[in-house]
Structure 1
Amino acid sequence: MSPSPLAEHALLLHPDDDVAVALRDLPPGLTLTHGGLSVAVTAAIPQGHKLAVRAKPTGETVTKYGQVIGRTTSPVHPGDHVHTHNLTMDSVNPVYEFGTGRVRVPHSGVLRTWEGFERAGGAVGTRNYVGIVTSVNCSASTARMIADQFRGPIMDAWPNVDGVVALTHDSGCGMVPSSEGGQILRRTLRGYAAHPNVGAVLAIGLGCEMLAVDALLDDLPAPADTIVERLIIQDQGGVRATVRAGVTAVRALIEQLDQRRRTTVPASRLILGLNCGGSDGYSGITANPALGYASDLLVAQGATTVLAETPEVFGAEHLLTRRAVDETVGRRLLDRIAWWHSYVAAGGGTLDNNPSPGNKAGGLTTILEKSLGAVAKGGTAELTAVYEYAEPITAPGFTFMDTPGYDPVSVTGLVAGGATLVCFTTGRGSVLGTKPVPTLKVATNTEMYERMREDMDLDAGPIATGDATVEEIGGQIFEALLEVASGRITVSEDLDLGRDEFVPWQLGAVT
């Protein structure tokens, strides 16, 4: 087998890296040349996995992206497969700096616009939904029965209404409303009820729950033109009576919402949630940095972008604190990391329990490696704010929200905070959808994109093969986001996904 240049078979992401990422399955015996060195592959290395380009004795750190991703558990030779069998988590003792790496992304000079639903008070929706908000799990089935009457072709009669979504959950009673868990649930439900994409709300309760409908709706921070109705199952006379009343109420709400029209608004009125799931060895190389480039383009327009998934920035948080506008913002992020250390320790775990089995099958070995790729979704702009879960997003620019890494829970928090659009990158093939917010899904590799083409919106794989640059794919994502915000249907919307992905974060004791 004649020698081949390393660059034809693997990506070396930083000149000082100890590993390269396989662009395809690499067979044993393949000889690769790089910088005067010759590396012979010693064992089969799957696509997306790591190839050692330097010798490393046991206990030595290994770098990727120019950063430490772990420590060897046995000797590693050039050409070896580097993964869970010889690489483990390294202790994390970063040096935190605040504001030393701030970058103000320059405006391109071209004002970009999109077509949205302007709401009273200045917010702009990317969609126009009726939301059925349930105060308690006891009203979930009733809400679904009502919403199911408005699925499919029946909605063609109201072309300016995107649908009716039942926001059901598994809680609302058995917990103290003033507890941390109770406050998170209330904040999440109120965030959806007040969301710019929800023009009308029907709140449904049972009547004896701890989180009552009135407590849910009192002083709701919704736009003044949000129409709010409520029904109590016990007062209506049971489920059947409430469903009949609910269908009548929703039909009237739809008639009113159908009078609204999209208007041209600046790109600065967008709030984009940045999320990833089912990551692989390409995530930090293709889709995530491309989304980061798109994020920078939006920030340059005055828009807001929001990174999330706190357990999946662990080990890379020092890169974010350097970008904080001030030490207060940076410390707020570190406070959330510290909270997570305590939270997982109470459950007998650690933050380095991540990555998942699917992530590892895709080539990711440690949480350090995964996090370094995950933060790439945030581009290079300065970090202007850090929010707790489902807290209202108010600051423009690049921001962060504390959420779990579990995709539906994370995205639910982003939407509750006010994200009007979500971009979701995936390497293994996640099938997430979100209502009432459209989700644009970007594949990290072309093989998966082709295999799951009906579930993906964009392919970032050409970055890995050299057929496109991060900037080119990032520009495509930016343009697609403006189109989706203006009403273009995503694949997850076409599949009617998103009803079951409303999953508020549950914390605390249930009695």
Structure 2
Amino acid sequence: MTADNVTEPALLLRAGDSVAVARRDLAAGEAICVAGHSVTATAAVPRGHKIALAAVPEGAAVVKYGQVIGYATRAIAPGDHVHVDNCGMGVPALDHGFGRDYRPTVPAADIVTFDGYVRADGRVGTRNFIGVISSVNCSATASRAIAEAFRGDRLAAFPNVDGVVALTHGTGCGMGATGEAIDLLRRTLRGYADHPNFAGIVIVGLGCEVNQIAPLAESLSARAPGLVAALTIQDAGGTREAVARGIAAVEAMLPVANEARRTAVPVSHLSVGLQCGGSDGYSGLSANPVLGVAVDLLVARGGTAILSETPEIYGAEHLLTARAASPAVAEALMARVHWWEDYTRLHKGDMNNNPSPGNKAGGLTTILEKSLGAVAKAGSTGLMAVYDYAQPVTASGLVFMDTPGYDPVSATGQVAGGANLICFTTGRGSTYGCKPVPSLKIATNTPLYRRMSLDMDFNAGTVPDGAATIAQAGADLFALMVETASGRRSLSELNGLGDNEFVPWQLGAVM
């Protein structure tokens, strides 16, 4: 978007596109001019939806972003509203070009720091919580009761402790003692228990579950004495006894956790999980590319950005494989894409089941269109590594983690992998919180930012409004990310959100 087109009623994103995106509601019969194309709307076109600038014959490709987003299911005339009734999925021929566009990142000359909690293993936290982790759903209520005991003024004497959070889930038993499902759960729980945003951890089990707490407790990194506790309800003598023991364990940890102090560290210690949820027609032209600029600024300073949601890069994976640092990285990404194709086929599903009804109401028509916009979150740097769900992320730069597109499950994997900040773009509106990690909500459009002003941390709607360029907004977002990592509260934190969003990915049969 430039000063020449921000006043036009619709936006042409790339020369040669067959559609433009409506900047406001267009009325049927309204004559408009977009980048030299004069058309008359044949039907009402809602804000954020697509209007055809050229005729598209039945079966021909519909092009947006300079890429195929679908195929005309019937002839489309100039001025038509292009959406689900005349545009379908199809299978585009993609040129994956492994590594073709890879360029080593040029390190930035300046040094950017944030104030974080340096842990004993050298990793850095952006928050200072105590966690109560249930090994199985059977200990979820007890775990929550322990954390609830520290609501209100109970932590007033410990100002450097951000809170006590319970991480509960719906599995841990009724599953095989070996195999992919239990390995994934244990990897997720271990990632949280070892997370640098936790000063201390209490693990609570029932006692007889498949997911025994001993292997988890024994695999954790070393912490200062007294900052890890494990108990089972059966050994404690019952629920009330276990809750009492858990409360006592947290009380013993609080003075030690309160001694932690923030110190200035390079922004290379920042690991950001990239999320988009409740996407709309503006996501791919405002919030996602704005976040992509912020990602480039972070990566140039040695930081890490974790792109995920494999079903939501489907049809746009060629933009990432072309940026892969090696053929092995590109092949690893394609292996995950093919796994998802097989997985959905096995369960009689369809990769185009995504976009959701809300996405479609916001103007997104196919998963190809949604994915092309979603990949913009990844900026322009090389893809350095591909990780399985909840696998510890050790590489710097842009990396990919295989996760579902469902945001709570996806972000849970990112945090388990080490993300200490979440950046979440949204066009329809999301209030997602992510304890123990701060979550920034980035609005794609100004009406949303104003309507949900107490939930949206950043307005990328300034870009389609013409008030800021993508580069300017990206620099402002990067500054907010650094401030948030240093302790500035996100709105989801101020609203007390994030206690129920720990959702590990469940695979395999429930036995």
TM class, shorter-length? over 0.9
Q: Is the 8 A contact 1:41 1:79 kept in 2?
A: yes
Question: What SS class does the counterpart of residue 156 from structure 2 fall into?
Answer: helix
Please list the CA deviations of residues 336-365 of structure 1 after superposition, one character each: whole Å capped at 9, or x if unmatched: 001101111111012111100000000000
Q: How big is the shift at 1:35?
A: 5.4
Please state whether the residue corresponding to 1:374 is helix, strand or coil: helix
Q: Alpha carbons of 1:355 and 1:441: their partners in 2 closer, same or farther (altered >3 Å)? A: same
**Distance in structure 2 (CA, Å) of the matches to 1:61 and 1:112:** 45
Partner of 1:32: 32
Q: What's the counterpart of residue 212 of structure 2?
A: 212
Query: How far did 1:104 drift?
Result: 3.2
Q: Which amino acid aligns with 1:190?
A: R
The alpha carbon displacement at 1:33 in A equals: 2.4
The aligned counterpart of 2:395 is 395
Structure 2 match to 1:263: 263
Please, which runs of 5 or more residues in structure 1 have no aligned partner? none
Range with bigger deviation, 98-107 or 125-134: 98-107
Deviates more, 1:32-41 or 1:166-175: 32-41
8 A Cα contact 1:103 1:380, kept in partner: no
Deviation at 1:74, TM superposition (A): 1.1
**Paired position in structure 2 for 1:200:** 200
- Residue in 2 aligned with 1:507? 507
Shift of the 225–244 alpha-carbon distance from structure 1 to 2, 3 Å rule, reads: closer
Give the aligned partner of residue 325 of structure 1.
Answer: 325
1:408-467 Cα shifts (integer Å, max 9, x gaps): 000000000000100000000011100100001100011111111111101100101211
1:88-237 correspondence to structure 2 within 5 Å: 88-221=88-221, 227-237=227-237
| Matched letter for residue 422 of structure 1 | I
Asked whether the 8 Å contact 1:456–1:491 carries over to 2, the reply is yes
Could you tell me how far apart the structure 2 residues matched to 1:456 and 1:37 are? Answer: 35
Q: Is the 8 A contact 2:6 2:465 kept in 1?
A: no
| Equivalence for 2:56 | 56
CA–CA distance in 2 between the matches of 1:222 and 1:97?
Answer: 44
For residues 277-316 of structure 1, the aligned pairs below 5 Å read: 277-316=277-316
- Output one character per residue of 1:196-248: Cα deviation in whole Å (capped at 9) or x when no partner: 10110101111111111102222224666882111111111101111111111
CA contact (8 A) 2:125 2:197 kept: yes
Partners of 1:38 and 1:366 in 2: CA distance: 26
RMSD: 1.4
- In structure 1, what residue type is equivalent to 2:398? F
1:250 aligns with 2:214: no
The 8 Å contact of residues 147 and 166 in structure 2, kept in 1 or not, is answered as yes
Aligned residue type for 1:17 = D
Q: How much has 1:105 moved relative to structure 2?
A: 3.5
- What's the counterpart of residue 475 of structure 2? 475
* 1:245–1:66 distance in 2 versus 1, CA, 3 Å: same
2:433 is equivalent to residue 458 of structure 1: no
% of aligned pairs identical?
Answer: 55
Q: Following TM superposition, by how much is the alpha carbon of 1:97 offset from its aligned partner in structure 2, in angstroms? A: 1.2
Determine if contact 2:12/2:34 at 8 Å carries over to the other structure: no
Aligned to 1:14: 14
Could you tell me whether the CA contact under 8 Å between 2:12 and 2:35 is conserved in 1? no
Query: SS at 1:455's partner residue?
Result: coil
Q: Quote the Cα distance in structure 1 between the aligned partners of 2:482 and 2:6.
A: 38
Separation in 2 of the partners of 1:139 and 1:67?
Answer: 49
Read off the aligned partner of 1:441 and give its amino acid letter.
K
Aligned partner of residue 423 in structure 2, secondary structure:
strand
Aligned residue identity for 2:133:
V
Once residues 457 and 382 of structure 2 are traced to their aligned partners in structure 1, the CA distance between those partners, rounded to angstroms, is 28
**C-alpha deviation, 1:80, in angstroms:** 0.8
Partner of 1:77: 77
What is the DSSP-based 3-state SS (H/G/I as helix, E as strand, rest coil) of the residue aligned with 1:157? coil
CA–CA distance in 2 between the matches of 1:5 and 1:484?
A: 34
What is the aligned partner in structure 2 of residue 23 from structure 1?
23
- Give secondary structure in 2 for the equivalent of 1:453: coil
Give the Cα separation in 1 of the matches to 2:397 and 2:320: 14
Per-residue CA deviation, residues 281-328 of structure 1 (Å, 9 max, x unaligned), is 000000000000000000000001100000000000000000000000
Which one is further off, 311-320 or 25-34? 25-34
CA 1:36–1:424 in structure 2 vs 1: closer, same or farther (change >3 Å)?
Answer: closer
Q: What amino acid is the match of 2:11? A: L
Distance 1:73 1:504 in 2: 38
- 1:32-52 Cα deviation digits (max 9, x unpaired): 224554211111100000010
Distance of 2:41 and 2:149 partners within structure 1? 60
Question: Can you give the 5+ residue segments of structure 2 that lack an aligned partner in the other structure?
Answer: none
Q: CA deviation at 1:5?
A: 7.8
After TM superposition, the score normalised by the length of structure 2 is 0.97
